[in-house]
Amino acid sequence: MLSRAGGGLKVILVTSCIPEEGKTTVSTNLAAAFAQDNKRVIIVEADMRRPRLAQVFEVPNELGLSNVLTGTATYDEATIRGVRVPTLDIMPAGPHPPNASELIGSAAFGELIELLRSTYDFVFIDSPPALLVTDPVLIYTKVDAAIWVSRVGVVTRSQLGRAKNMIERNRLPVIGFVVNRMRPRLAGYSYGYEYEYYGSYYGEKDSNGE
């Protein structure tokens, strides 16, 4: 991702099939990593039904995206600057609006993304769950790339099949899949295997006398 980021990927959607898979967690960690590299970064929490971003950064969710989209706050007022990292800003979801899908589909949302595109090096959009509501599709056309998060043991094969159809039908440019909350032992890997792998690697080097 970092190597392709130089090629103009700027607005990045972080999405998943259902709630609680780790979209906010992954958005936060990726955005913080980019900001620590001195990039100007913002996370916009577009999941207005289950806001959690403000809580992660221990700031209030009083003003946010829902205010900007309904015209009750400006981008400046709804943005919290320098959270943990000086170049990292966030726009929390804000108060729960009754018409979240409508707001995401509005011209105001498109305009906001264009404003952010010209202001930041990277814009992470923390999306609503793809399979439960209709608004994520409305975001797809506005982003340069997407990262699909899946929580192991919770999301089902059939939900992932539906996700695949959505990705293909909308030509969503997914640049990475995050397999979240994997427990290595359950997935058939073990620390022993890893240890053996590295052990033999170093063993080979030793036999070359290096």
Ligand X SMILES: Nc1ncnc2c1ncn2[C@@H]1O[C@H](COP(=O)(O)OP(=O)(O)O)[C@@H](O)[C@H]1O
Name the residues that contact ligand X, by CB under 6 A. Answer: 16, 19-25, 50, 52, 180-181
Angle at 22 between CA 38 and CA 104, to 5 degrees: 80
Q: Which CB sits closer to ligand X, 23 or 113?
A: 23
Q: Which CB sits closer to Mg ion, 47 or 144?
A: 47
The CA radius of gyration of the chain, in Å to the nearest whole number, is 19
Q: Could you tell which of ligand X, Mg ion, none binds residue 20, using a CB distance below 5 to 8 A set by kind?
A: ligand X
Q: Which CB sits closer to ligand X, 26 or 78?
A: 26
Which range binds Mg ion by CB under 5 A, 42-50, 90-98, 146-154, 158-166? 42-50
Q: Are 181 and 22 in contact (CB under 8 A)?
A: yes
Q: Which CB sits closer to ligand X, 16 or 61?
A: 16
Buried b (16+ CB within 10 A) or exposed e, 193-210: eeeeeeeeeeeeeeeeee
What CA–CA distance (Å, rounded) separates 187 from 124?
Answer: 30
Q: Could you tell which of Mg ion, ligand X, none binds residue 36, using a CB distance below 5 to 8 A set by kind?
A: none
| Amino acid (1-letter code) at residue 108 | A
| Amino acid (1-letter code) at residue 182 | M
As measured in angstroms, the least distance from the Cβ of 201 to ligand X is 28
How many residues of this chain interact with Mg ion, rule: CB under 5 A? 4
Which two structure tokens, joined as six digits, stand for 203? 């063993």
Among 15, 16, 24, 66, binds Mg ion (CB under 5 A): 24
Write phi, then psi, for 38 (nearest 5 degrees).
65, 25
As measured in angstroms, the least distance from the Cβ of 205 to ligand X is 33
Positions in the binding site for Mg ion (CB under 5 A): 23-24, 47, 52
